[in-house]
């Protein structure tokens, strides 16, 4: 790569021309062709088919069918979509269901675990986890009482040796809860090894797939994962605030109960009985009425991923992050930009964090005047996500070039240091 990097644009164009996934970009709305969008790990792009399907659902579903729409397919959406996503994450079709947000699903599964493991008082996680997951664990501890949360620290904020996590697992541990791919550095935890280690001491594992579903191959069954949650608005391209999914390993389903006992998780919601009896299987983790309009919007994005195949997506994504890191080394490192993501491709998800003390203002300048959308994660991370379904190699080269200009020409100095709104 170092030979060809002298002319990165021709290299990128060649890689784009040879890319077996190149046709997928056309199946998304690209409103502004100049915009380099490297934030698909925060909100994925809109598939063309989704725009159509949402319009159909509003106009003929809601507009004409009215309440009859429930029997025309809406009622089974949580299961049907769950069965599709199951194929992306190596789960059985009866092990995944769509409901609520990732945060709420995480809470349901963590509380269910504590209830099912009354003698165990320890929850283990790490400090690279998504903060919401830590807040939720703290909330569970508050409700369950006498629960200890152990947060294993990463030495460098980028990676974490599995042995350090294993050292905290013991006969008192109820749950090991980790993000499969961490949101800042993109570190991939060894899901198989840690699931096995937890099982050896009788603890359950709860994996947050927020940054791994749709970006890297996940094989929950083969890895022996017990529980998982994930969101569908990132690499699944399900739209802003799209509902989340949850996974419970088949053999565990009957032994766990949701702390939110709503009528959709009841054995027969329409018998209107006054006593709650949990539905058999994964359905017991539903709570209330599914948000149909946002749920129908999830399917086309999932279909695109299934059509492309996760192996193929991973191969392209790795080439793209390799290229990105090669260009960082060559063009940005000399300007004082750090690499805050793993070098080892086997341990790196589909986003790369670049660190600079002026990261926040650089990110602002990129969005405001360089038509490049990354995102920013404190303290200094400019996060660049590649979504292999629609990001081109040329965009990767263009993205690095725009960052270089903003730093070299000090364009960021025009922007204030405070943060505003969603970054």
Ligand X SMILES: *Cc1c(COP(=O)(O)O)cnc(C)c1O
Contact status: 353 vs ligand X (CB under 6 A) = no
Contact status: 244 vs ligand X (CB under 6 A) = yes
The candidate with the shortest Cα–Cα distance to 287, out of 78, 30, 66, is 78
Stretch that binds ligand X, among 130-138, 280-288, 311-319, 370-378 (CB under 6 A): 130-138
Burial 269-284 (b: 16+ CB within 10 A, else e): beeeeeeeebbeebbb
Can you tell me which of 21, 83, 231, 248 binds ligand X, judged by CB under 6 A?
231
Can you tell me which of 79, 102, 197, 205 binds ligand X, judged by CB under 6 A?
102
Q: Mind spelling out the 3-state secondary structure of 45-108?
A: CCEHHHHHHHHHHHHHHHHHHHHHHHHHCCCCHHHHHHHHHHHHCCCCCCCEEECCCHHHHHHH
Closest separation between CB of residue 64 and ligand X, Å?
32
Select which of 105, 208, 375, 380 is catalytic. 208
* CB closer to ligand X out of 61 and 290: 290
Report the residue closest to ligand X, judged by CB. Answer: 210
Torsion of CA 309, 312, 314, 316, to 10 degrees: -140
Closest separation between CB of residue 211 and ligand X, Å?
5
Closest separation between CB of residue 149 and ligand X, Å?
17
Cβ contact 244:101 at 8 Å: yes
Contact status: 132 vs ligand X (CB under 6 A) = yes
Q: Could you confirm whether 383 is annotated as catalytic?
A: yes
Select which of 108, 117, 120, 234 is catalytic. 234
CA atoms of 186 and 205, how far apart (whole Å): 20
CA atoms of 61 and 382, how far apart (whole Å): 42
* CB closer to ligand X out of 133 and 299: 133
* CB closer to ligand X out of 216 and 365: 216
379 upstream amide cis, omega within 30 of 0: yes
Can you tell me which of 117, 122, 211, 361 binds ligand X, judged by CB under 6 A?
211
Q: Which residues pair with 206 in a beta bridge?
A: 177, 227
Torsion of CA 170, 163, 111, 150, to 10 degrees: 80
Contact status: 404 vs ligand X (CB under 6 A) = no
Contact status: 423 vs ligand X (CB under 6 A) = no
Select which of 37, 106, 183, 233 is catalytic. 233
CA atoms of 21 and 206, how far apart (whole Å): 32
Binding mask 166-185 for ligand X (x = CB under 6 A): -------------x---x--
Closest separation between CB of residue 42 and ligand X, Å?
8
CA atoms of 45 and 240, how far apart (whole Å): 10
Q: Which residues pair with 152 in a beta bridge?
A: 126
- Kindly list the distances between the CA atom of residue 46 and the CA atoms of 13, 49, 198, 276, 323, in Å, as whole numbers in the listed order: 24, 8, 38, 39, 25
Q: Could you confirm whether 412 is annotated as catalytic?
A: no
Q: Could you confirm whether 376 is annotated as catalytic?
A: no
Q: Could you confirm whether 234 is annotated as catalytic?
A: yes
Site for ligand X in 265-304 (CB under 6 A): none
* CB closer to ligand X out of 240 and 357: 240
Closest separation between CB of residue 110 and ligand X, Å?
13
CA atoms of 23 and 182, how far apart (whole Å): 29
Size of the site for ligand X (CB under 6 A): 13
User: Phi/psi of residue 259, each to 5°?
Assistant: -75, -15
Can you tell me which of 16, 51, 101, 116 binds ligand X, judged by CB under 6 A?
101
Stretch that binds ligand X, among 50-58, 208-216, 319-327, 354-362 (CB under 6 A): 208-216
Interacting residues toward ligand X by CB under 6 A: 101-103, 130, 132-133, 179, 183, 208, 210-211, 231, 244
Active site residue ranges: 130, 208, 233-234, 383
């Amino acid at each position: 790569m170092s030979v060809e990097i002298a002319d990165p644009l021709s290299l990128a164009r060649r890689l784009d021309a040879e890319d077996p996934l190149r046709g997928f970009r056309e199946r998304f709305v690209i409103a502004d062709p100049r915009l380099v969008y490297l934030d698909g790990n925060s909100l994925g792009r809109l598939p063309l088919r989704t725009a159509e399907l949402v319009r159909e659902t509003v106009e003929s579903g809601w507009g004409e069918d009215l309440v009859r729409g429930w029997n025309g397919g809406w009622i089974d959406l949580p299961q049907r979509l769950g069965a599709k996503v199951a194929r992306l994450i190596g789960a059985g079709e009866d092990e995944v269901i769509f409901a609520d947000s990732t945060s709420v699903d995480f809470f349901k599964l963590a509380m269910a675990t504590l209830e099912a493991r009354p003698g165990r008082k320890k929850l283990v996680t790490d400090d690279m986890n998504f903060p919401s997951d830590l807040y939720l664990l703290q909330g569970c501890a508050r409700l369950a009482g006498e629960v200890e949360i152990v947060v294993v620290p990463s030495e460098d904020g980028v990676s974490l040796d599995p042995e350090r996590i294993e050292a905290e697992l013991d006969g008192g541990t109820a749950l090991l809860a980790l993000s499969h791919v961490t949101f800042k550095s993109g570190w991939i935890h060894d899901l198989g090894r840690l699931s096995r280690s937890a099982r050896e001491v009788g603890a359950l594992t709860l994996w947050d797939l927020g940054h791994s579903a749709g970006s890297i191959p996940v094989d929950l069954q083969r890895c022996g994962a017990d529980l998982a949650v994930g969101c569908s608005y990132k690499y699944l391209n399900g739209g802003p605030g799209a509902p989340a999914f949850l996974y419970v390993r088949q053999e565990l389903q009957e032994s766990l109960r949701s702390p939110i006992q709503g009528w959709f998780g009841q054995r027969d919601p329409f018998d209107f009985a006054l006593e709650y009896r949990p539905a058999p299987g994964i359905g017991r983790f539903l709570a209330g009425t599914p948000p149909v309009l946002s749920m129908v919007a999830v399917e086309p994005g999932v279909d695109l991923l299934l059509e492309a195949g996760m192996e193929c997506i991973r191969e392209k994504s790795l080439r793209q992050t390799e290229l990105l890191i090669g260009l960082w080394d060559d063009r940005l490192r000399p300007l004082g930009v750090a690499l805050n993501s793993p070098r080892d491709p086997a341990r790196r998800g589909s986003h790369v964090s670049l660190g600079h003390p002026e990261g926040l203002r650089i990110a602002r300048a990129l969005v405001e005047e360089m038509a490049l959308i990354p995102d920013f994660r404190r303290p200094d991370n400019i996060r660049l996500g590649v979504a292999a379904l629609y990001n081109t190699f040329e965009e990767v080269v263009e993205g690095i070039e725009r960052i270089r200009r903003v730093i070299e020409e000090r364009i960021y100095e025009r922007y204030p240091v405070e943060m505003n709104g969603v970054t």
